[in-house]
Amino acid sequence: MNQNEKRMILTSVQKPGRYAGGEYGQVIKDRAAVSARFAFCFPDTYEIGMSNLGVRILYHCLNLHERIWCERVYDPWVDMQEKMKEYDLPLTAVESGDPLSVFDFIGFTLQYEMSYTNVLNMLELGRVPIWARERGEHDPLVIGGGPCSYNPEPVADFFDLFNIGEGEEMLPEIVELYIAMRDEGSYTRAAFLHRAAATIPGVYVPSLYDVTYNEDGTPDAMNAAWGGISDDQELSMCISAEHKTTANILARKAFTVSMATADQMAACDYVGIESGNQVANKLEKAGWHTTPSEFVDAPLIDELPMAVECRLVSYDPESCRLVGEIVNISADESVLGEDGRVDPDKLRPITFDPIHNAYRILGEKVGNAFRDGAKLK
What's residue 208's pLDDT? 64
Burial of residue 177 (number of CB atoms within 10 Å: 0-12, 13-18, 19+): middle
Contacts (Cβ under 8 Å, ≥6 apart) of 159: 108, 132, 142, 143, 144, 152, 206
First-last CA distance in the chain: 80
149 CB-contact burial (10 Å; exposed 0-12 / middle 13-18 / buried 19+): buried
What confidence score (pLDDT) does residue 215 get?
Answer: 58
Nearest CA-CA partner of 176 in 315, 310, 38, 372: 38
User: Distance between CA 94 and CA 25 in Å, rounded?
Assistant: 13
Distance CA 178, CA 187 (A): 7
CA–CA dist 89, 83 (Å, integer): 8
With contact defined as beta carbons under 8 Å apart, do 280 and 218 qualify? Answer: yes
133 SS3 class = helix
Q: What angle do CA 3, 40, 118 make, to 5 degrees?
A: 85
Mapped onto helix, strand or coil, the DSSP state of residue 126 is: coil
Q: How far is Cα 190 from Cα 193, in angstroms, rounded to an integer?
A: 5
pLDDT the model gives residue 225: 60
Q: Is 52 exposed, middle or buried (0-12, 13-18, 19+ CB in 10 A)?
A: middle
Give dist(CA 347, CA 358) in Å, integer.
19
pTM: 0.59
- Position 210 scores a pLDDT of 37
Contacts of 93 (CB under 8 A, 6+ apart): 39, 71, 72, 73, 100, 103
Q: How far apart are CA 300 and CA 236, in angstroms?
A: 18
Per-residue pLDDT 10s for the chain (377 aa) are 566 677 788 888 889 888 888 888 899 999 999 999 999 999 999 999 998 888 899 999 999 999 999 999 999 999 999 999 988 899 999 999 999 999 999 999 999 999 999 999 999 999 999 999 899 999 999 999 999 988 888 898 899 999 998 888 899 999 999 999 999 998 998 889 888 887 888 888 887 653 335 656 667 676 676 677 767 788 888 887 877 888 888 888 899 998 889 999 998 888 877 777 777 778 888 899 998 888 888 889 999 999 999 999 999 888 888 899 999 999 999 999 988 888 988 999 988 776 777 888 887 788 888 788 888 87
Tens of pLDDT, residue by residue over 236-247, are 888 878 778 888
Structural domains in the chain, CATH included, are 10-209 (3.40.50.280), 227-361 (2.30.110.10)
Cβ atoms of residues 37 and 6 within 8 Å: no
For residues 263 and 107, give the distance between their C-alpha atoms in angstroms, rounded to a whole number.
Answer: 44
| Residues 133/160, Cβ–Cβ less than 8 Å | no
